Each structure stands twice: as structure tokens, then as C-alpha cells.
Amino acid sequence: MAATTGLRERKKQRTRELIAETARRLFVERGFDAVPVAEIAREADVSEKTVFNYFPTKEDLVFWRLESFEDELLSAVRDREAGESILDAFGRFVMRRRGLLAAEGPEATERLAAITRMIVSSPALLARERKIFDRYTASLADLISERGADPGDVEPWVVANALMGVHRALVDYTRRRIVAGARNPGLSREVRAQARRALATLGAGLGGR
């Protein structure tokens, strides 16, 4: 039974990845808004219903890998060592190489550059991303609230918004630089330098700004 369950899950994962990869290729070729879900289904040789079973919205075909981001973010803060601040735990998390900054080699780099151009040219994708980041901010605020904040206290929200503000600013900066032609390894160094400055600003407080 365990073997059958494992086989079923692997098959579902392959189907999920096939649909997402098909969508990515079509979106990059023609733009997110120009490609209907029905065409993605035909190209992936599945039904349109199957696409929506795996991806509840069209935008999820692009952002589905962000599902693990929230868990990783919350785990970094929740599981930090005794004595480590939330800011330091978040800093370790945000400085980790992933996604665009982890791309190595001309093919991977240009593929991610194409995805970046596709995202920034779609108002629908940018709007969906804002909602996703808003959800992450709320989850982070809830986690911080569990650590001794008084009910209704605004401080957890202030902290969560400040931290996620750093992340969102770095994402925007990275995309602008990619569209302008920047690539790794130089881009990675640039973004990490920006991250260190932003985290240092939070650590020092805003009173002197």
C-alpha cells in the first residue's frame, strides 16, 4: 500500500511539474495574459479541469513554487536559537541563495531572466504576488504575536511589515537589475550588499533617518 501511495504521489508531482513547465514556456513565448488555460491544458495533454485541480488560479501556474517560501520563512523565525533576534533570523533567511540569485550558467540565468520579464510585464501577476506577500506578512505577524505580544498590539504587525518590506524591496531591485541586463555572479553580490544595508538600517532603528 505504501509503495502504491508513493507511486501515485510521484505521478501527481510529475503531472504538476509538466503542467507548470508547459505554462512557463507558453507564458515566456507570448506573455502571461495572452495564453489561456485551455491552451496550456492542450499542450500538456490534460484536461482544463486537471490544470485547475493542481493550480486553483492561472497565476498559481507561475507562483506555485512560492508555496514553500512561507514555511521556510516562518521556520527560520520560529526555530531560531535562544538569544537570536527575529531580525537576525530573518537576515539569515533572506541572505540565503535561492531562486533568481541561485541561477548559475548561461541557460539557467537567461531562463530566469525571461521569467522575470514575463512577470514584470503582467499587472495580473504583480497583483497576485502582492496578495501572496500580504499573506506572508500576516502569517509572520501572527507568529510574532504568539511570542508574548498583548492581544491587539500593533508591534507584531510593524515588525512583520518591516521585515517583509525588506524582502519585497530586494525582489523589486533584483528584477529591475535583471531587466537592465545584470546577471550572476555580479547580480548576486549587488543584491546581498543591498540586503546587508537594509537589515543594518532596521537594526539601527529609523530615529536618525
- Written as tens digits, the pLDDT of the chain (209 aa) is 656 678 889 999 999 999 999 999 999 999 999 999 999 999 999 999 999 999 999 999 999 988 788 999 999 999 999 999 999 999 999 988 776 566 677 788 888 899 999 999 999 999 999 999 999 999 999 999 986 667 678 999 999 999 999 999 999 999 999 999 998 888 989 999 999 999 999 999 977 66
| All domains in the chain, ordered by first residue | 2-58 (1.10.10.60), 62-204 (1.10.357)
Hunting for cell 538569544 — which residue is that?
A: 83
Q: Please state, in angstroms and rounded to a whole number, the distance separating the CA atoms of residues 28 and 82.
A: 45
Q: Please state, in angstroms and rounded to a whole number, the distance separating the CA atoms of residues 70 and 97.
A: 16
Instruction: Pull the grid cell for residue 119.
Output: 512577470
Residue 191's CB: how many other CB atoms inside 10 A?
Answer: 22
Q: Helices 86-95 and 67-78 sit at what angle, rounded to 10 degrees?
A: 140
Q: Please state, in angstroms and rounded to a whole number, the distance separating the CA atoms of residues 45 and 67.
A: 25
On whether the CB atoms of residues 70 and 136 are closer than 8 A, the answer is yes
Coil, strand or helix: which one is 56? coil
Q: Please state, in angstroms and rounded to a whole number, the distance separating the CA atoms of residues 209 and 204.
A: 10
Listing DSSP states for 77-136 in one string gives: HHTPPTT--HHHHHHHHHHS--GGGG--SHHHHHHHHHHHHHHHT-HHHHHHHHHHHHHH
Helices (runs of H) and strands (runs of E) counted in the chain: 10, 0
Q: What is the pLDDT of residue 68?
A: 86
Instruction: Pull the grid cell for residue 92.
Output: 539569515
How far lies 57's CA from each of 73, 89, 116, 196, in Å?
23, 32, 19, 35
On whether the CB atoms of residues 93 and 75 are closer than 8 A, the answer is no
Q: What is the pLDDT of residue 176?
A: 96
Q: How is residue 206 annotated by DSSP?
A: S
Q: What is the pLDDT of residue 80?
A: 94
Q: What is the pLDDT of residue 77?
A: 95
119: which residues sit within 8 A by CB, 6+ positions away? 32, 62, 125, 126, 129, 175
**Which residue type does 97 have?**
R
Residue 164's CB: how many other CB atoms inside 10 A?
Answer: 21
Q: What is the pLDDT of residue 122?
A: 97
pTM above 0.75, yes or no: yes
